[in-house]
């Protein structure tokens, strides 16, 4: 068993370097050892302390400052060491017991193992022996002879006794061991008691020791403090005394110095006094003189003062007078100002009144003006309206009259033809006059506006894809001869693309959602309005200008372009002539159908037109890059606008002339209409009329005679009928003599 463990709680501190041999020795020796250890530990502690001090420079410097601190630190380290060593010394016992216990355990284990081995061996051998004995029993049973049996029994007995003896021996051995163990236990108990005693002793010693050393160290520290205090006191006292002495000597020095200085100052003072007195006297005399002079001056000054005062008085009076005068003038001026102010106000009011009046007047006048303008506009509108109506009416009346006249002329011609063919037996030819073909009033064709043309052109080009050829001839009718529609279109497109700056941005934004062609149209409209192009002519001028401009600037591309143009022109002319011929051939039968003719006939030249178109297209494709370069468009445009502005002025009369109808040819026309039948023919007709009258009379007489003949013939037949009736009647038969017999009817 271990000693009950109060020691477990103790901390095991740093181990001392020397311990080993003392553990297993007896108590006194161990005690001596322990003391030695302690002494060694203390020595070492001091040594280490010194070492620590050497190592720690900071501490050293601190220790230099105070002995007490040094002592304190020293004591602390010493005590720490002491405590460490003490606890170690005490715990050494525990450690020793621990190791003893471990050794004991190891030994015990070994012994146990040996014992077990031994027991096992014993068991084995005894088992063998027992087996032998039991085997012999079997043997013995077979023995018949008593002698043998007895012998065998004897031997068996011997064997058994041996076995038992062995066992007994073992038991006694074990018991012996047990006894020794008991002894060991007692010894252990004693040892434990001893250990505890030792432990207690050491502890007590440690406590005493610690107490002693603590006291010692405390006294040391106190002493150190005392010494330090004494030292401090003495040193301070010395300092104080030294300081006092120094102070005293200095005081003395100062005193002596002061006395010396006082004497010096006194001397100086007396000197100064004498000097001052002298100076005072001289100054006094001087000052008195000065005073006299000043008094004289004062008198003089007073005199001048008097004089000046009088002068000033006079001046003051004068100024007062003047002041009064000026006040009077001031008041006058004020009054004047007031009056003028009043006038100004009056004028102002009048001015405002007048302004108001004029404003009103102005307003009324503007209103009048507006009203008049409105009226004028209305009048204009009405006039335009009436002009239109008039024109229409005029046209209608014209047409009506014309129709009537033509009707009459037709009848006349019919009559003439009948006369010629039936009565005279002559062939008749219809007379050909220019006025016969005329329909409607004789006048110039109305001019189209530039935009209309453009629209036309564009529409036409748009339609080109589907019915290119169909629309072509119609459009070319309107175009001037120099320029083709395509060129125009190209030029216009170019213009549209390049001069977008002329269009308002608002319009552009509005145009965005529209179709391409419409967009172009509107754009061009805007551009034209900006450029001042209004009429067809202007447009053609523009196109021509462009073409020329390009031709002028691009002589290489000129020929081609011109050739294409001429080509087209020839085509147009041929087509036109062909059309007029066709119209003439038809005019005999239906004059009115002339207008519709081109439409119906158009189909014929389609073939020819197509071919030409193809070649034209090619040429166009070739010539298109030779069109005016987009960069030059602006220059050209500028030049054109400059040129256009010049003939702008005489445009107003041109407009007026447009409105007045040219009626010079009308009377001529109408007269010509009346003169359709020439006078020679009228004479002929008169002669013919009289002759025919006569022929008519004869014919009427003949007709009367024929009628008479007819009536007579009828009477004859009636009479024959009546006769027949009589002959056929029954009375005749009854009659004795029938009449029939009488006579014979000549008719049968």
Partner 1 sequence: MQDNLTPQLMPAFSRPSDTAQDQSTTGKATSTAPQPVNPTVLIPPIKSKGLNASNVRRMRRIIAEDAEWSLAIVPLLSELCIQHIVKNFQNNPVLKQLLPEHQQKVLDHLSPDLPLTVTANLIEDENYWRRCCAQRWVCHVARHGGSWKRMFFERHLENLLKQFIPGTTDPTVILDLLPLCKNYVRRIQVDQFLHPSVSAPPRDGDQSDSGSEGEMEEYSTDHYQLRDLVAGLKHLEELDLVYGVKDCGMNFEWNLFLFTYHDCHSLAATIKACHTLKVFRLTRSRVDDDKARILIRSLLDHPALEELDLSHNLIGDRGVRAAAKLLSHSRLRVLNLANNQVRAPGAQSLAHALAHNTNLVTLNLRLNCIEDEGGQALAHALQTNKCLTTLHLGGNELSEPTATLLSQVLSVNTVLTSINLSCNHIGLDGGKQLLEGMSDNKTLLEFDLRLSDVAQESEYLIGQALQANREAARQRALNPSHFMSPTTNGPENPAG
Residues binding partner 1 (CB under 8 A): 2, 4-15, 17-20, 23, 48, 52, 76, 79-80, 83-84, 87-88, 90, 92, 95-96, 98-99, 101-102, 185-186, 189, 200, 203-204, 206-207, 210
CA 204, CA 196: separation in Å to the nearest integer?
A: 12
Task: Identify the DSSP state of 24.
Answer: T
Q: CB-wise, 186 or 424, nearer to partner 1?
A: 186
CB 33 within 8 A of CB 224: no
CB 646 within 8 A of CB 538: no
**Least gap, CB of 64 to partner 1 (angstroms):** 20
**Least gap, CB of 102 to partner 1 (angstroms):** 5
CA 520, CA 526: separation in Å to the nearest integer?
A: 10
CA 607, CA 612: separation in Å to the nearest integer?
A: 9
Cα Rg of the chain, angstroms? 86
Q: Which residues, listed in sequence order, are joined to residue 449 by a DSSP beta bridge? A: 535
Tokens encoding 153: 């029994």
CA 248, CA 242: separation in Å to the nearest integer?
A: 10
**Least gap, CB of 159 to partner 1 (angstroms):** 38
Q: CB-wise, 89 or 637, nearer to partner 1?
A: 89
Indicate the length of the chain as a whole number: 748
**Least gap, CB of 206 to partner 1 (angstroms):** 7
Q: CB-wise, 18 or 514, nearer to partner 1?
A: 18
Q: CB-wise, 210 or 530, nearer to partner 1?
A: 210
The continuous run of DSSP H or E covering 293 comes out as helix 146-418
Q: CB-wise, 203 or 511, nearer to partner 1?
A: 203
Q: CB-wise, 30 or 88, nearer to partner 1?
A: 88
**Least gap, CB of 168 to partner 1 (angstroms):** 26
**Residue of 437, 408, 407, 434 lying closest to 592 (CA atoms):** 437
DSSP per-residue codes, 47-60:
HHHHHHHHH-HHHH
**Least gap, CB of 33 to partner 1 (angstroms):** 14
CA contacts within 13 A on the Cβ side of 533: 27
**Least gap, CB of 245 to partner 1 (angstroms):** 45
Q: CB-wise, 206 or 535, nearer to partner 1?
A: 206
Distance of CA 476 to the CA centre of its chain: 53
CA 551, CA 560: separation in Å to the nearest integer?
A: 10
Q: Report in angstroms the alpha-carbon separations of 590 from 403, 415, 437, 602.
A: 14, 19, 11, 18
**Least gap, CB of 89 to partner 1 (angstroms):** 11
Tokens encoding 57: 């420079």
Q: CB-wise, 221 or 530, nearer to partner 1?
A: 221
**Least gap, CB of 47 to partner 1 (angstroms):** 11
Distance of CA 293 to the CA centre of its chain: 102
Q: CB-wise, 86 or 609, nearer to partner 1?
A: 86
**Least gap, CB of 71 to partner 1 (angstroms):** 15
CA 171, CA 156: separation in Å to the nearest integer?
A: 22
Q: CB-wise, 25 or 683, nearer to partner 1?
A: 25
């Amino acid at each position: 068993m271990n000693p009950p463990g109060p020691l477990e709680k103790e901390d095991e501190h740093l181990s001392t370097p020397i311990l080993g041999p003392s553990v297993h020795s007896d108590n006194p020796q161990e005690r001596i050892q322990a003391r030695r250890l302690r002494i060694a530990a203390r020595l070492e502690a001091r040594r280490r302390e010194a070492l620590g001090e050497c190592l720690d420079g900071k501490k050293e410097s601190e220790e230099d400052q105070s002995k007490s601190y040094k002592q304190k630190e020293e004591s602390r380290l010493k005590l720490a060491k002491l405590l460490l060593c003490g606890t170690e010394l005490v715990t050494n016992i525990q450690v020793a017991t621990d190791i003893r216990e471990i050794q004991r355990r190891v030994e015990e284990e070994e012994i146990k193992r040996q014992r077990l081995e031994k027991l096992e061996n014993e068991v084995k051998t005894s088992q063998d022996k027992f087996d032998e004995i039991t085997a012999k029993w079997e043997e013995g049973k077979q023995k018949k002879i008593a002698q043998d049996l007895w012998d065998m029994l004897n031997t068996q007995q011997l064997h058994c006794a041996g076995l038992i003896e062995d066992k007994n021996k073992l038991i006694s051995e074990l018991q012996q061991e047990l006894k020794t163990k008991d002894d060991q236990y007692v010894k252990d108990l004693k040892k434990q008691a001893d250990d505890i005693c030792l432990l207690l002793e050491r502890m007590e010693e440690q406590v005493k020791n610690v107490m002693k050393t603590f006291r010692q160290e405390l006294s040391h520290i106190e002493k150190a403090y005392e010494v330090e205090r004494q030292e401090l006191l003495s040193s301070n006292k010395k300092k104080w005394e030294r300081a006092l002495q120094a102070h005293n000597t200095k005081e003395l020095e100062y005193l002596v110095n002061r006395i010396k200085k006082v004497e010096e100052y006194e001397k100086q003072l007396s000197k100064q006094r004498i000097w001052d007195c002298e100076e005072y006297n001289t100054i006094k005399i001087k000052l008195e003189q000065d005073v006299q002079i000043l008094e004289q001056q004062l008198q003089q000054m007073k005199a001048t003062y008097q004089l000046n005062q009088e002068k000033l008085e006079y001046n003051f009076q004068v100024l007062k007078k003047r002041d009064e005068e000026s006040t009077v003038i001031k008041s006058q001026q004020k009054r004047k100002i007031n009056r003028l102010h009043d006038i100004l106000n009056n004028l102002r009011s009048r001015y405002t009144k007048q302004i108001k009046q004029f404003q009103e007047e102005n307003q009324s006048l503007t209103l009048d003006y507006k009203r008049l303008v409105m009226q004028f506009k209305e009048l204009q509108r009405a006039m335009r309206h009436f002009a239109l109506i008039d024109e229409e009416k005029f046209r209608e009346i014209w047409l009506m009259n014309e129709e009537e006249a033509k009707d009459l002329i037709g009848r006349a011609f019919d009559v003439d033809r009948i006369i010629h063919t039936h009565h005279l037996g002559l062939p008749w030819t219809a007379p050909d006059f220019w006025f016969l073909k005329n329909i409607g009033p004789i006048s110039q064709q109305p001019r189209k506006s530039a935009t209309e043309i453009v629209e036309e052109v564009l529409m036409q080009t748009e339609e080109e894809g589907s019915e290119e050829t169909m629309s072509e001839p119609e459009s070319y009718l309107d175009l001037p001869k120099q320029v083709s529609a395509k060129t125009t279109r190209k030029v216009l497109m170019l213009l549209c693309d390049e001069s977008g700056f002329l269009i308002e941005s608002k319009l552009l934004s509005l145009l965005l959602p529209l179709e391409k062609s419409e967009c172009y149209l509107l754009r061009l409209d805007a551009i034209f309005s900006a450029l001042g192009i209004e009429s067809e002519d202007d447009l053609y001028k523009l196109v021509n200008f462009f073409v020329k401009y390009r031709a002028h600037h691009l002589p290489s591309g000129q020929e081609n372009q011109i050739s294409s143009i001429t080509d087209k022109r020839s085509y147009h002319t041929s087509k036109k002539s062909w059309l007029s011929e066709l119209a003439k051939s038809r005019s005999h039968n239906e004059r009115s159908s002339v207008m519709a003719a081109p439409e119906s006939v158009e189909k014929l030249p389609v073939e020819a037109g197509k071919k030409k178109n193809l070649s034209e297209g090619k040429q166009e494709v070739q010539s298109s890059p030779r069109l005016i370069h987009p960069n030059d468009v602006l220059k050209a445009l500028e030049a054109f606008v400059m040129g256009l502005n010049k003939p702008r002025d005489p445009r107003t009369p041109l407009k007026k002339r447009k409105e007045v109808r040219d009626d010079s040819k009308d009377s001529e026309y109408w007269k010509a209409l009346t003169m359709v039948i020439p006078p020679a023919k009228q004479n002929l007709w008169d002669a013919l009329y009289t002759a025919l009258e006569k022929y008519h009379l004869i014919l009427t007489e003949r007709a009367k005679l024929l009628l008479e003949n007819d009536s007579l013939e009828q009477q004859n037949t009636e009479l024959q009928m009546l006769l027949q009736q009589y002959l056929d009647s029954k009375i005749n038969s009854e009659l004795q003599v029938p009449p029939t017999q009488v006579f014979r009817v000549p008719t049968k």
